[in-house]
Amino acid sequence: MFEKLKTSLLANNARFKEIHHPSEGNSEKVAAVRGTEVGQGAKAMLCRAKEDENLLVLAVLPGDRKLDFKKLAQAIPCKKITLAPPEVATEKTGCVIGAIPPFSFSSDIRLIVDPDLLARYEEIAFNAGRLDTSIVLNTQDYVRIAQPSLYYICVTE
């Protein structure tokens, strides 16, 4: 996944930097290692519809926010949506949980991004298919390359 992602970014003339770091298990620690804010982290969560296990969605939101499953279900639309089990996420994305980048390289996985992630920062940061490597990517380049659907999917506080 890392090589596929990097090849895509280079082929599309994306403005990005690659950061190698120790594997970290939470958003705060990895943001500190990257030198970014927690909210810049593009948290990618593979979800699937309860009524159709083949309906997969990669929900991407700021690292300091929580996913509102009801809003995500309305965006699809479907009745109910949950996180995909870890083994399904690994099988479908080629990445372990926590390393999934905010890109869908599969026509079977719909990509939905919360607009707040894109509005808050000029760059987003994410694990690049590996827990020990991150990419900090220009936000405009991300939207141009990933072409996500945009819906407000975060819990409002």
Q: What is the pLDDT of residues 35-90, one digit of tens each?
A: 999 999 999 999 999 999 889 999 999 999 999 999 999 999 999 999 999 999 99
CA–CA dist 62, 117 (Å, integer): 5
Any idea which fold 2-150 has? YbaK protein (3.90.960)
Environment class of residue 36 by beta-carbon count within 10 Å: exposed (0-12), middle (13-18) or buried (19+)? buried
Can you give the pTM of this predicted structure? Answer: 0.94
Confidence of residue 24 (pLDDT cuts 50, 70, 90): confident
Give domain limits for the chain. 2-150
